[in-house]
Chains A and B, each alone.
Chain A
Amino acid sequence: MNADRASSLFWLFVGVVISVASFRLDVGSFRTPGMGFMPFGAAALLGLLAVISFFQAAVKEKAANKPPLFRGTRWPKVLFVFAGLLIYVQALPLAGYNISTFLLMTFLFWIVERQQVWKVAIFALLTTVITYYVFSKWLNCQFPVSPLGF
């Protein structure tokens, strides 16, 4: 199955799930639309369009053979960065802005393009300190503080 057809099936699934959930919310009637009225209509239309898109993709698939979407790309890096960001959000309230941001920036500078470790550490430290002072001290943004007090 190609990417277009797979994505159409995904949206069809989303449309069906939300239609069912909206129906349970109370669709109401045309005279007195309930709070599920709009989401039901939108989700049903989404499902319908997903079916059309699926068949369009099936027809196009015969005409053109597209290469796989992720071939020749650095998608594992994107996955690592995505995971790193999610871990950062979890660590932020626990470790505070300075420690978690320093670790995140070290990771990001290193993974985007491999550089010497000391360069990465200096860039990360500078970025953390400058953004902390600009946003926290100057713009009064309230960053979380680590148990160590910074």
Chain B
Amino acid sequence: MEILSDLYLGFQVALTPANLLFCCIGVVIGTLVGVLPGIGPVGAMALLLPATFGVAIHSSLIMLAGIYYGAMYGGSTTSILVNIPGEAASVVTCIDGYQMARHGRAGAALGISAIGSFIGGTLSIIGLMLIARPLANAALGFGPPEYFALMCAGLIILTYLTQGSMVRALMMALVGILLGTIGLDMVVGLPRFTFGVNELTDGIGIIPLVMGLFGVAEVFMNIETVIKREVFQTEIKHIWPSLADYAQSKWAILRGSVLGFFLGILPGGGAVLASFLSYGIEKKLSKEPERFGKGAIEGVAGPETANNAAAGGAMIPLLSLGIPPNIVMAMLFSAFLIHGVQPGPLLMQNSPDIFWGLVVSMYVGNAMLLLLNLPLIGIWVQLLKIPYRILMPLILLFCLIGAYSVTNSTFDVSLMILFGGVGYLMRKFGYEAAPLVLAFVMGPLLEQNLRQSLLMSQGSFAIFATRPISAVTLVVACLLLLSNLIPFMKKKREKVEEILKEE
């Protein structure tokens, strides 16, 4: 019964006219950034975060969350119609989605991806409601050693799951931690690595960092290479899939929901991994695997469901433990902190309206997306025709204005441009930005918990081994680290990476 009263509270919050409006704005912007290559959900969230400073925290979080799952919906449109994914989680949708479009079945592909996304998103929210409370209750007993261990494990799992070299991903996580140490030391209260620059006393802002590494760097990459986009010229008809399509897709959608939800909970797992694994599983389980790559509807339904289900799953560590499992959640985490609310086990007790309002808004947002996406596909297709020569300078200008509007100072803009240059070089040299940003966000908490743990234990690192949760978590993290050194495990990991690249 408790859950029903919680849901009632959530609907009271989510259905206020202001929150409905912000939810609608969020999902529309999310779909837009998902459709348009050049700026992903992270960049869009960073861009719009300053605009939410003046509104209530409920509205701010509802809009930012809407951008995330809206982008998951929108990303499929470009994958299916242009063969260019709007964002990373839709890469795998290109394989069969584009083939379906070529065979005149673009409508069915777009339809099943929207319906699968809706089902995946809804099921994951139900999972979130069921798991979040017990996990938050358990987390109330956690102390600094447990939090330190969980954050370490989170970062290590994230680096383990990133494509490419794990060593490099770990290096980027360390760079993120180092960037997070800039500013006033939380214990001594003295400036650290500020080089006498007053603006650095509060540390580097998340907005210039993320906009630079994701928004500006992406534009630089697009300027560097000529990308020709050709929207597949086909009449989009029969958007509602046929009964045969549903019959073929139903298990893919269910499997995608479960897989996406659980992978979303994993640090670093998230939507990208969920979509790739879902595709692999569907191909493996299919009686006619040869259809995959030639327009199999399960190859669209499974991954699209999984990436939306992952969006709901990823909320669990953030809302229950206060630990963002991926970079998008790190942006949401920053939004919580900016509004003076600490996400974590006490959130449900202290601010149930925020927790349940956000959860229920995802139901509402998913329904809005279903209503918006199918009838408005024609408009999204038109947007795809905006030429790069117009789009890229506009994205740059929005990034500049977004960075400037945070503090009305050109310092943040300079930082953003600098990080844009760094992000471009990182991409060129094969370093990923996601571990850097996640470690940057978690860095201050990681340091605080490490120092508190050492103070508690009077300088003994044994405190991490004597407390069961931290011990088990750190052992798992160490095993993952070691697995990269053991030749057998390393070969397996490299093989998986090769398969993912081929797909």
A-B contacts, 15 of them at CB < 8 A, read A31-B454, A38-B447, A38-B451, A42-B181, A45-B170, A46-B174, A56-B165, A78-B224, A88-B400, A89-B413, A92-B404, A101-B397, A113-B389, A127-B394, A127-B397
Q: Mask for A18-29, Cβ within 8 A of B = 1, else 0?
A: 100100010001
**Interface 9-mer from B94-102, B295-303, B367-375, B423-431:** B423-431
- The reply to whether the CB of B220 lies closer than 8 angstroms to some CB of chain A is yes
A30 touches B405 (CB 8 A): no
Residues of chain B contacted by A90 (CB below 8 angstroms): 410
- What are the 5 closest A-B residue pairs judged by CB atoms, nearest first? A31-B459, A30-B459, A108-B393, A113-B389, A35-B185
A93 touches B177 (CB 8 A): no
Restricting to A1-35, which residues have a CB under 8 Å from any CB of B?
Answer: 3-4, 7, 11, 14, 18, 21, 25, 29-35
**CB contact under 8 A between A112 and B389, given known A35-B190, A70-B428, A78-B224:** yes
A82's partner among B397, B408, B420 (CB-CB below 8 A) is B420
Residues of chain B contacted by A30 (CB below 8 angstroms): 454, 459-461
Restricting to A58-88, which residues have a CB under 8 Å from any CB of B?
Answer: 69-70, 73-75, 77-78, 81-82, 85-86, 88
The complex places the Cα of A142 from the Cα of B387 at a distance, in Å, of 30
**CB contact under 8 A between A11 and B224, given known A38-B450, A108-B393:** no
- The reply to whether the CB of B223 lies closer than 8 angstroms to some CB of chain A is yes
Residues of chain A contacted by B405 (CB below 8 angstroms): 135, 139, 141
Restricting to B200-223, which residues have a CB under 8 Å from any CB of A?
Answer: 216, 219-220, 223
* B415 (CB) vs chain A CBs: closest residue: A89
* B431 (CB) vs chain A CBs: closest residue: A7
Majority secondary structure of chain B interface residues (helix, strand, loop or mixed): helix
The complex places the Cα of A82 from the Cα of B420 at a distance, in Å, of 8
A82 to chain B, nearest CB (A): 5
* B412 (CB) vs chain A CBs: closest residue: A89
Name B's A-contacting residues (CB within 8 A).
51, 165, 167-168, 170-171, 174-175, 177-178, 181, 185, 187-188, 190, 192-193, 216, 219-220, 223-226, 387-390, 392-394, 396-397, 400-401, 404-405, 408, 410, 413-414, 417, 420-421, 424, 428-431, 443, 446-447, 450-451, 454-455, 458-461
The complex places the Cα of A142 from the Cα of B404 at a distance, in Å, of 9
A42's partner among B51, B177, B389, B400 (CB-CB below 8 A) is B177
Residues of chain B contacted by A29 (CB below 8 angstroms): 459
* B392 (CB) vs chain A CBs: closest residue: A112
A74 touches B417 (CB 8 A): no
B416 to chain A, nearest CB (A): 9
Residues of chain A contacted by B167 (CB below 8 angstroms): 49, 52-53, 56
Residues of chain B contacted by A52 (CB below 8 angstroms): 167
The complex places the Cα of A30 from the Cα of B410 at a distance, in Å, of 40
B401's partner among A25, A45, A135 (CB-CB below 8 A) is A135
A42 touches B178 (CB 8 A): yes
Residues of chain A contacted by B170 (CB below 8 angstroms): 45, 49
Residues of chain B contacted by A32 (CB below 8 angstroms): 455, 459
The complex places the Cα of A25 from the Cα of B178 at a distance, in Å, of 14
The complex places the Cα of A86 from the Cα of B216 at a distance, in Å, of 13
B319 to chain A, nearest CB (A): 27
A75 to chain B, nearest CB (A): 6
B193 touches A39 (CB 8 A): yes
Restricting to A118-150, which residues have a CB under 8 Å from any CB of B?
Answer: 123, 127, 131, 135, 139, 141-143
Q: Known contacts A35-B185, A39-B192, A53-B165; can you find 6 more A-B pairs with CB under 8 A?
A: A38-B450, A77-B224, A78-B224, A105-B393, A127-B397, A141-B408
Residues of chain B contacted by A135 (CB below 8 angstroms): 401, 405
A86 touches B390 (CB 8 A): no
The complex places the Cα of A37 from the Cα of B178 at a distance, in Å, of 11
The complex places the Cα of A93 from the Cα of B408 at a distance, in Å, of 11
Residues of chain A contacted by B455 (CB below 8 angstroms): 31-33
* B430 (CB) vs chain A CBs: closest residue: A4
The complex places the Cα of A34 from the Cα of B153 at a distance, in Å, of 24
**CB contact under 8 A between A53 and B171, given known A35-B192, A69-B428, A127-B394:** yes
B223 touches A81 (CB 8 A): yes
